[in-house]
Amino acid sequence: MSDDAIRKTPQQFSPSQLDRLEDLLTQGLLNHLSQAGFSRCHLGLSGGLDSAIIAYLAVQAAGKENVTCLILPSRFTSQTSIDDAVELAENLDCRYEIVSIEPLYAGFLETLRPLFDGLPFDTTEENLQSRIRGTILMAFSNKFHSMLLATGNKSEIAMGYCTLYGDTCGGLAPIGDIYKTDVFALCRRINEKSRVQFGRDIIPANILAKPPSAELRPNQTDQDSLPPYEVLDAVLQAYYSAKHLLSDWDIAEEIVGVVELMEFKRQQFPPILSVRGEC
């Protein structure tokens, strides 16, 4: 199989299918909240695409008065990401709070220093930030009886690009059945409709334009650890629909190997809204 075949754009939704997808996600989120006995929900708003679409969906489902966005910057969070998160929350007219995790992070690093002395910074220190955020977000859930929404998408979950007991915390993963390329398409479609209705983008353009990043170390981007999303999603779609077709693709074999290794993480993920077969 040629590289060109691998790099074809993943299956794309039409505008009407994207509208249907938005409706399914919104209704599914509302139904899940109701069945679990929650009227309120919240999420960690990073200034990235995934949390942006979930904040939007949450407001559509639960109402802006029932949604809280917690912006939890660390030393590695850019001011641009904070500004983008604030702009989105203000566009949605929902409550947001900025709570720095830096004091907690510094305290953990100091506590762990005798154990880690002389060892280089690695994913240990990166994941620690996510786990601190998860603790804050779950504390908010307990205190205010608000459901935490996990922000992982199908591409990241498949590859284990998520931190156990960190960004895997929550009562529901609204976009866990949506590939990253589809998240981009859905956000663009939402902005198209917003421009017609309100004359402006509801999801800030910079969130769509900047390279996806977890911002857990300096200058980090998702593509440091993952293939480009159009490549990754094409392979994942083929893998989930016809695994036997992938046996001769070197890049596919590498991706599939990671997918299969990461099954233990997926088993610990919050419930995922299943929507891909419905639109």
- Of 14-28, 144-158, 235-249, 256-270, least confident by mean pLDDT is 235-249
Spatial CA neighbour of 8 closest among 192, 227, 234, 268: 234
Q: What is the mean pLDDT of the chain?
A: 91
In whole angstroms, what is the distance from residue 139 CA to residue 119 CA?
A: 31
Report d(CA 2, CA 98) in Å as an integer: 48
CA 265 to chain centre: 15
Residue type, 266: R
Q: What is the mean pLDDT of residues 2-16?
A: 57
Confidence at 243, pLDDT banded by 50, 70, 90: low
Give the residue among 188, 209, 200 at the shortest CA–CA distance from 92: 200
| Residue 246 contacts residue 252 (beta carbons within 8 Å) | yes
C-alpha 106/C-alpha 129 separation (Å) is 10
Q: What is the pLDDT of residue 1?
A: 31
Residue 210 has phi, psi (to 5 degrees) of -80, 155
Residue 78 confidence (pLDDT) = 96
Scanning 203-266, the segments in alpha helix (DSSP H) are 205-209, 229-241, 250-261, 263-266
Would you state the structure tokens that stand for residue 226, as one six-digit string? 């993952």
Tokens 């590859």 locate to: 159
Coil/strand/helix, residue 149: strand
pLDDT digits (tens, 9 = 90+) for 86-140: 999 999 999 999 999 999 999 999 999 999 999 999 999 999 999 999 999 999 9
pLDDT for residue 256: 80
What's residue 108's pLDDT?
98
- Mean pLDDT, rounded, for 51-77: 98
- pLDDT by residue (tens digit) across 202-223? 999 999 999 999 888 998 999 9
Return d(Cα 84, Cα 46) in angstroms, integer. Answer: 8
Superfamily (CATH H level) for 12-211: HUPs (3.40.50.620)
**174 in helix, strand or coil?**
coil
More confident residue, 125 or 279: 125
Q: Does position 73 have pLDDT exceeding 60, yes or no? A: yes
- Phi, psi of 110, rounded to the nearest 5 degrees: -65, -40
Q: What is the pLDDT of residue 173?
A: 97
